[in-house]
Amino acid sequence: MDLGLIVYALNLASIYALMAIGISILWSSVGVINMAHGATFAVSGYAAWLVTGALKPVIAASLGKTALASAAMAGALVGSALITGALCGVVIYLLAFLPIHDKPNYPVRALIITLGLNIAAVQGLLWTFGPRSQGLPKIFGFGRWEVWGTKIRYDQAGTIIGAILIMTLTLGWLRYSRRGLEVRAMMQNAEGAAYSGISRQATALPVLMLTGALAGMAAALLSQTIFVSPTAGVIPLIKGLTIALLGGLGSVPGALIGAVLVGFLEAGVGAVPFLGQRYVQFATFLFIITVLIIRPRGIGGLLDDTRE
């Protein structure tokens, strides 16, 4: 396995990790399997496309073709994707959490509502923008680095670094802030957290906004490699869900390990000559199913009894 393959694997792993961590945190703290994560992904991609399209002439007029201009462009792209993702989180909070969180059968109903939101959002995008995919501006520019004889594309390196940065920030926030402490308490034991005065309603909103922003970040980073289309969210959603499962729903380290494993597996299978790119999905799902049959609670998942 050469260095280029490792970089490609890390690239995949960082996108998957962004999606999987969001789904995992959301499930363990709020109790929602967020099927609208893919919609959040697609909507933030489109928002970033609209914002950068609108700002492009402004930036070009005021800053010209300087490094500052591309930095401003990158800021606009990432910022708009993050903000839209967080706003999508607010919508999910208002529809799938607030009205039903104390009603019977809440997890299944939340799942259904987010599923409905996903369908509505994807069809809405299809209706407004058409099925054509849109290219976003390349914030990392075109070009390659030469490292030890292999070429690394700027967008790959940027994606890996950006994902690691944003994940470190998220995990740091969870670890060191007051709100993060509350979220972690809810992840461990929602009932106990409620008894010690942690409001479920007040904590769910920042969690949903955060996970939405993570999906937005994933959209901004992935749009450097592929185009944005209304159905762009489906594959990241399925991948994120299955990796969150593989890691054991609710376990952040498990999700990270799962993402790295799947990233390397996909890169590896894609590189094997007689299997090729066509069997990547196949191999991933087979791998995940095998792991789940051996360890039904995933890699980092706790046993049922310990969680209860």
Partner 1 sequence: MTEKRFYQVGRKPWEWRLKPAGDAERARGRVPGTRRHWLKWRDVHNDKSLKRERVMVDKKPLWWTIGLVLLLFITPFLPNSMISVVSIFCIYAAINILWTLIIGTAGIFSLATLAVVGVSAYIAAAANVYLGVPWPFMLIIGPMAGLIFGAILAAPSTRLDGLYYALLTMGVAEICRVFVVQLRALTASGGAITNVDSFIPEDWFLQRPGLLLGFVGAFLLMLGALLVWRLVNSERLGMLLRVAKTSREDEAFAEAVGIDFRRARLMVFIISSAALGVVGAFYAMYYRSISPQIFSLDQLLLLFAMMVIGGLGRAEGAVVGAAIVTIIDKGLIELGPPRIILVALIMIGVTVFAREGLMGARNQFRDFRNRKAGERRARRTEKGGEAMPEEATEVHDKQELYYRRFNKRLRDKLKDMITPELIAEHQRDPLGHHSDALARVLNFFRRGEMADKYVIHRMKPAEEKFRIMAVSGARGMPPRVVDDREYSDIKEAYHAVFLLRVNDLLES
Give the binding site for partner 1 (CB under 8 A): 33, 95, 99-100, 103-105, 107-109, 111-113, 115-117, 119-120, 123-124, 126-127, 234, 238, 241-242, 245, 249, 278-279, 281-282, 285-286, 288-289, 292-293, 296-298, 304
To the nearest 10 degrees (0 to 180), the angle between helices 3-30 and 234-246 is 80
> Whole-number minimum distance, CB 190 to partner 1, in Å?
16
Q: Any idea which residue has 């993702």 for tokens?
A: 85
CA dihedral 157, 160, 166, 168 (to 10 degrees): -120
User: How far are the Cα atoms of 148, 194, 204, 249 from residue 198, in angstroms, in the given order?
Assistant: 52, 5, 10, 22
Supply the minimum distance, in Å, between the C-beta of residue 34 and partner 1.
Answer: 12
Q: Which CB sits closer to partner 1, 81 or 288?
A: 288
How far apart (Å, rounded) are the C-alpha atoms in residues 161 and 78?
14
**19 vs 33 by CB, closer to partner 1:** 33
Least distance to partner 1 from the beta carbon of 61, Å? 37
DSSP reduced 3-state for 50: helix
CB of 238 to partner 1, least distance (A): 6
Q: Contact, 280 vs 286, CB < 8 A?
A: no
Which C-beta is closer to partner 1: that of 7 or that of 35?
Answer: 35
Residue 289 token pair? 């199913």
Cβ distance to partner 1 smaller for residue 161 or 286: 286
Query: Which tokens belong to 60?
Result: 């070009």
How far apart CA 174 and CA 215 sit, in angstroms, is 17
CB nearer partner 1, residue 31 or residue 253: 31
Minimum Å distance from CB 120 to partner 1? 4
